Amino acid sequence: MYRNQRVILYILILISGASWIALSAEKTGSAPSRDIPAPQASFAAPDFTLKTPTGETYTLSELRGQAVLVNLWATWCPPCRAEMPTLEKMYEEYKDQGFVLLAVNMTYQDDPFAVVPFTQEYSLTFPILLEETGDVAAAYQLRSLPSSFFIDRDGIINEVVIGGPMSEALLRTRIEEILK
């Protein structure tokens, strides 16, 4: 009799476990991540709204019709520092053709008091946005700094460049491609 009770108990545990798995399994198409565009070439760029150190707000989707480079960076990152003068040069050269450069500082993992002195040191004129929560980093699946996303006029990612510093030739080629 004791052996029969154990078998019944095991069967009940198996049925309970199988029921739990069936009830908690992800239903097709219901995962929130499926609603978020992948941060890779030919996918829509994940939208975000961020502020500059002066409080001005930028929303990526409001820049449709313009070619956008989203550059994720930090003040402590040597390759980020190295590519800033070239980014500034390219911004100045192409901004009148509809090119926008959004330099998104990973403020949540940076010194927020270092951002403004950094922009002054490098005489940066393009918008510097503060990413204070990690949400943009998550949406863009940030793995390394700098990370750059070249977004065409329709809001589609044309190319992703992980790491740096990017050369002037690479930047020029990618910017001209998204300006088409």
User: For residue 157, what pLDDT is reported?
Assistant: 95
Q: Give the pLDDT confidence score for residue 148 in this predicted structure.
A: 96
In a domain, 71, yes or no: yes
Averaged confidence pLDDT in the chain:
88
Number of domain units in the chain: 1
Q: What local confidence, expressed as pLDDT, does residue 30 receive?
A: 41
Tell me which residue range forms the domain holding 53: 29-179
> What is the C-alpha to C-alpha distance for residues 177 and 20, in angstroms, rounded to an integer?
51
Q: Mind listing the pLDDT tens digit for each residue in 117-169?
A: 999 999 999 999 999 999 999 999 998 999 999 999 999 999 999 998 999 99
Q: Does pTM top 0.75 for this prediction? A: yes
Residue 157 lies in a domain: yes
* DSSP letter (8 states) at residue 112: G
Q: Which two tokens stand for residue 75?
A: 């003040």
| pLDDT value of residue 34 | 46
Q: Rg of the chain over CA atoms, in angstroms? A: 23
> Residue 15 falls within a domain, yes or no?
no
Residue 7 lies in a domain: no
pLDDT of residue 22: 67
Pinpoint the alpha helices (H) of 25-161.
Answer: 78-94, 115-121, 135-139
Mean pLDDT, each 10-residue run in order, the chain (180 residues) = 78 77 56 54 91 96 96 96 96 96 95 94 96 94 94 95 93 94
Q: The domain spanning residue 37 has which CATH number?
A: 3.40.30.10
Among the listed residues 77, 175, 88, the one whose alpha carbon sits nearest the alpha carbon of residue 126? 88
